[in-house]
Amino acid sequence: MFHHMEWDSTDDGLEASMDDSPHLPESSQSMSSTTNNISEHEFSCHCCYDILVNPTTLTCGHNFCRHCLALWWESSHKNECPECREKWEGFPKINILLRDATDKLFSDVVQRRRAEIQENPKISRSLLAFQRYGDNLGRSRTNQHKGAGFFFSGVLVALTCVAVMVLVYHWSSGVVEQHDLLISKPVSHWTPEEVVSWLEQLGPWAQLYREPFQQENVNGRLLLMLGDEELLKPPYSIENQAHRRAVLAELDRVKALGVKPPQNLWEYKAANAGKSLFLLYALKRSPRLTLFYLYLFDYSETFLPFLHTCCPAITHIDQSMESSFLNAQLEPSWRQWGEFLVKYLLLPYQLIAEFAWDWLAVHYWTSRFIIVNAMLLSVLEGCALWRLWTAARIRTLPRKMWNHLWKMLSQGFAFALLWPFVPQFVCNCLFYWALYFSPIINIDLVVQQLMHPETQAL
């Protein structure tokens, strides 16, 4: 080898003969002219008749742009070549060699075409659907559902069985339908026994005044006539100012509503059947808009207790239960508003989880289902934002937010119109389905997002 290298470098006669040869220069000129004569037409797609972008080669040998093939597949629903109609095998892959060649020869044109394709939302949706089809086809062919997939399938089956048992228990025991009759019975028609029952529900401290109310045989009409002076004097003798203020605050709510306000989930559902179904689905789809709706249209009855539960005020250790009950009816402090706004903007589903956590003693299984569902929805929202960020499409977020706002408003308006015509049995089925089966569905969605995230083809 070294001998040949030395001979080549020192043989001037050979170099001169190469310069004088009539054949070699002709060959060299032919190669140079071929390179210069390559045109975009030779690397054009037979669908859009433009330069190939992410060229995809089918089994028949024809090449097409990736997005052109995705649009063809989505419109025709056929796994066949757009030109010769021959069916392709497996899932078409990008021809890396051809892609690198077009990128090198026609870099400016390819970059311009890529920018045009990325700005077209229809093409982006088609590419995502095409890639999702390929992912599902690959998982079915390579049996990727085994292993962890079997484990998660077992988890879903187990959770479904638990949800069914909880639902059957509610229906068989009547817990779902049992609610205090005072939430629908006018306060002026309350019997003395119902007045005592209302008093006991204010808290353990109200047990101290049960006997005077029973002895005086206080009914609903007499209850509406009680004031601060009457409660302070015998026979009621509520000398504790905090106790007296708590009774008066709840009595004012009863006077304003005409009935007892709901104090748990089932009572709220019984008193507001359509509204509870709307809030259940709306909080899942758009918690921020739903909480804003409650702030505008249901501030004192729903939003204020929700805020005090999720962002409680800083209290002293020795503060009594009745004082906490009374503070829940007051306007939130600036510290509570600040904490609420931070969670509202960044982690809205955490607010729902904290509210459900406060009801664990009342709704044991139901609160746990709500907490799990809120955690899963937070993960799904995070995955969606991550896809927008990694795909460099975060600039499309304002447009997506506007589309989401319009969609939620139109759906809410349609629900308000159709709600009076929907049978109560159908509403109950939708309510319990969203309450107990949504976490099971969201578990599968989270597994798909974490194990097989959607990718952009461009």
| Answer CATH for 184-257 from 3.30.465.10, 3.90.1300.10, 3.30.70.260, 1.10.150.50 | 1.10.150.50
Helix (H, G, I), strand (E, B) or coil at 51: strand
Give pLDDT, residue 12. 43
Q: Say which residues have a Cβ less than 8 Å from residue 271's Cβ, sequence separation at least 6.
A: 179, 183, 184, 259, 262
The tens digit of pLDDT for each residue in 306-326 reads: 998 888 876 544 445 455 555
Query: How far apart (Å, rounded) are the C-alpha atoms in residues 356 and 363?
Result: 9
| DSSP state letter for 300 | I
Average of pLDDT values for 445-457? 64
Query: How far apart (Å, rounded) are the C-alpha atoms in residues 327 and 307?
Result: 12
**Mean per-residue pLDDT of the chain:** 78
Are the C-beta atoms of 175 and 169 separated by less than 8 Å? Answer: yes
The tens digit of pLDDT for each residue in 369-408 reads: 899 999 999 999 988 888 778 766 677 778 888 888 898 8
Measure CA of the first residue to CA of the last residue in the chain; give whole Å.
48
Q: Percent of the chain scored above 90 by pLDDT?
A: 13
* Model confidence at 22: pLDDT above 50: no
Task: For the chain, give every domain's residue range.
Answer: 42-128, 184-257, 265-314+325-452
Q: Which fold has domain 42-128?
A: Herpes Virus-1 (3.30.40)
Give pLDDT, residue 350. 92
* Model confidence at 207: pLDDT above 80: yes
| DSSP state letter for 259 | S
Q: For 39, what's the count of Cα atoms within 13 Å in the CB-facing half-sphere?
A: 5
Place of tokens 């779902």: 176
Average of pLDDT values for 25-33? 43
The tens digit of pLDDT for each residue in 73-119 reads: 888 878 888 888 888 887 888 888 888 888 888 888 888 888 888 88
Give pLDDT, residue 7. 39
Q: Which of 64, 72, 61 is nearest to 43 (CA)?
A: 64
Give pLDDT, residue 35. 46
Query: How far apart (Å, rounded) are the C-alpha atoms in residues 46 and 51?
Result: 10
Pairing status of strand 56-57 against strand 93-94: antiparallel
Are the C-beta atoms of 310 and 342 separated by less than 8 Å? Answer: no
Q: Which of 229, 228, 193, 227 is nearest to 213 (CA)?
A: 193
* Model confidence at 452: pLDDT above 70: no
Query: How far apart (Å, rounded) are the C-alpha atoms in residues 124 and 380?
Result: 20
Give pLDDT, residue 392. 61
Which pLDDT band, with edges at 50, 70 and 90, does 453 fall under?
low
The tens digit of pLDDT for each residue in 131-177 reads: 888 877 766 554 444 444 555 566 667 666 766 776 666 565 554 44
* The one-letter amino acid at 382: G
Which pLDDT band, with edges at 50, 70 and 90, does 60 fall under?
confident
Give pLDDT, residue 340. 94
The tens digit of pLDDT for each residue in 344-377 reads: 999 999 999 999 998 888 888 889 989 999 999 9
Give pLDDT, residue 341. 94
Backbone phi and psi for residue 94, each to the nearest 5 degrees, phi listed first: -70, 135
